């Protein structure tokens, strides 16, 4: 593994014309292909007070599949869908083999790219009996201020609606009070955005058998990617 994290930012041109022509969308597959503790533990600014870690290893599904592999698989599908609708896509990490950027750098990639929207893709790991379902994280402490926080909530609502329509996943039973949306102030990749809204999807609870029975399949991953693309279309199309 390399000694330093990638700066990421692979910029991919549209593959066809469509409703997203002229739009730049950052797709952020959570975590990294390779875990290097000396990099992961490096302190970075979270956009609030105290520092936080550069990144974490992420969780692991019931069958041992690492979260980074799932987020990469969905991120690649999503990238293809968005490019086919005319969008330019900026991927925060170029592959699932190395050490991706720190969480603060993932926001900086979007700021530098002049992005219109950030879609960060994760899977949760809650070892609580019966805890399942997706939730969309938004920041209530964005560098870009209240206007971006409102726009991010609009994007989150669109994503909740599309996931509800296109997948069998329920809204989270353990976070968000049944809304499917959870506001936080400690997510650097969202806090540090200055020019566009962003959301972070926790696709489901990878420690839950029902969620993983779905998210472990190609068909499930394709449906989640389609819901993300459709939400982008609602917000930007
Ligand atoms: Zn994660």
**pLDDT tens digits, one per residue of 185-212:** 999 999 999 999 999 999 999 999 999 9
Per residue in 84-113, pLDDT (tens digit) is: 999 999 999 989 998 889 999 999 999 999
Cα-to-centroid distance, 200 and ligand 1 (Å): 9
Ligand 1 centroid to 179 CA: how many Å? Answer: 20
Clarify whether 202 is annotated catalytic: yes
Q: Which helix (H) or strand (E) holds 68?
A: helix 67-84
Q: How far is ligand 1, taken at its centre, from the CA of residue 120, in Å? A: 9
| Residue 99: per-residue pLDDT | 87
Question: What residues pack around ion ligand 1 (CB closer than 5 A)?
Answer: 30, 58, 122
- Catalytic one of 67, 85, 149, 202: 202
Residue-wise pLDDT for 121-154, tens only, equals 999 999 999 999 999 999 999 999 999 999 999 9
Contact between residue 104 and residue 140 where contact means Cβ atoms under 8 Å apart: no
The answer to whether the CB of 33 falls within 8 A of the CB of 96 is yes
| Strand runs labelled E in the chain | 10-12, 24-29, 43-44, 52-53, 88-91, 117-124, 135-139, 181-184, 198-205
- Asked whether the whole model's pTM tops 0.85, one would answer yes
Q: How far apart are CA 153 and CA 85, in angstroms?
A: 23
Residue 224: other Cβ atoms inside 10 A: 28
Distance 51 CA to ligand 1 centre (A): 18
Would you state the structure tokens that stand for residue 164, as one six-digit string?
Answer: 């509800």
The strand pair at 10-12 and 88-91 is best described as antiparallel
Secondary structure (3-state) at 174? coil
Nearest to 89 by CA among 234, 188, 228, 224: 228
Q: How far is the CA of 22 from the centre of ligand 1 (A)?
A: 29
Contacts of 38 (CB under 8 A, 6+ apart): none
How far apart are alpha carbons 237 and 225 in whole angstroms? 17
């Amino acid at each position: 593994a390399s000694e330093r994290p990638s700066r990421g930012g692979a910029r991919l041109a549209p593959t066809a014309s469509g409703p997203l022509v002229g739009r730049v969308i950052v797709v952020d597959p959570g975590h990294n292909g390779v875990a290097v503790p000396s990099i992961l533990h490096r302190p970075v600014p979270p956009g609030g007070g105290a520092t936080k870690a550069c990144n974490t290893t992420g969780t692991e599904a019931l069958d041992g599949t690492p979260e980074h592999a799932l987020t990469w698989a969905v991120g690649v599908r999503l990238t293809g869908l968005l490019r086919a609708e005319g969008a330019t896509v900026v991927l925060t990490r170029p592959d699932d083999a190395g050490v991706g950027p720190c969480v603060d750098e993932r926001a900086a990639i979007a700021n530098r790219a002049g992005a219109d929207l950030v879609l960060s893709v994760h899977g949760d790991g809650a070892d609580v009996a019966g805890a399942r379902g997706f939730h969309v994280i938004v920041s209530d402490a964005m560098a870009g201020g209240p206007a971006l926080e409102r726009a991010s909530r609009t994007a989150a609502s669109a994503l909740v609606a599309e996931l509800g329509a296109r997948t069998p996943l329920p809204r989270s039973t353990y976070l968000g009070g049944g809304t499917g949306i959870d506001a936080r102030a400690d997510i650097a990749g969202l806090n540090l955005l200055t020019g566009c809204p962003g959301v972070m999807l926790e696709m489901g609870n990878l420690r839950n058998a029902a969620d993983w029975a779905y998210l472990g399949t190609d068909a499930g991953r394709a449906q989640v990617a389609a819901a993300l693309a459709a939400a982008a279309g609602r917000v930007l199309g």
